[in-house]
């Protein structure tokens, strides 16, 4: 199932909204909170690009569970782009799997992350 997530980072805890067939099928909740639980930067020595490894915890607003998403982010002259994969989850998301890509769009006070990809439950 395709999933489209929008994630606005303006502070430590942010909100997300999700749309698409995976939400329509009840695989992923339509909204909730997210927080970065791990961030590691590298490559900044080159002064051309920075790479980030990020793990985000998504918590559903409807109480159906939580899931972790790992992002491999590349920030260069072209902007922010990333690949993501689901690491695991709890409750309804215990067997959730998925991968995809995305972009980060700078906004005043934060970044709007747009995720695209496929998710499924085993």
Q: What is the CATH number of the domain that holds 56?
A: 2.40.350
C-beta of residue 105 within 8 angstroms of C-beta of residue 82: no
Residue 61 domain boundaries: 2-121
When computed from its CA atoms, the radius of gyration of the chain, rounded to whole angstroms, is: 14
**Number of domains forming the structure of the chain:** 1
Assigned token pair, 55? 């793990």
| C-alpha separations of 79 from 16, 46, 51, 61, 104 in Å | 21, 16, 12, 30, 7
> pLDDT (tens digit, 9 = 90+) per residue, 79-90?
789 999 999 999
Please say whether the dihedral angle defined by the alpha carbons of residues 39, 40, 46 and 49, taken in this order, is positive or negative. negative
> pLDDT (tens digit, 9 = 90+) per residue, 38-74?
888 887 666 677 888 999 999 999 999 999 999 999 8
> pLDDT (tens digit, 9 = 90+) per residue, 9-46?
444 578 899 999 999 999 999 999 999 888 888 876 66
């Amino acid at each position: 199932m395709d999933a489209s997530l929008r994630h606005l980072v303006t502070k430590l805890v942010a909100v997300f909204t999700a749309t698409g067939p995976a939400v329509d099928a009840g695989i992923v909740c339509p909204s909730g909170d997210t927080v970065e639980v791990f961030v590691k930067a590298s490559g900044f020595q080159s002064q051309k690009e920075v790479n980030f490894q990020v793990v985000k915890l998504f918590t559903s607003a409807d109480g159906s569970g939580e899931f972790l998403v790992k992002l491999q982010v590349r920030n260069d002259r072209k902007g922010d782009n990333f690949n993501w994969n689901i690491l695991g989850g709890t409750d309804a998301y215990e067997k959730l799997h998925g991968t995809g890509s995305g972009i980060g769009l700078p906004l005043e006070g934060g970044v709007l992350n747009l995720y695209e990809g496929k998710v499924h439950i085993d």
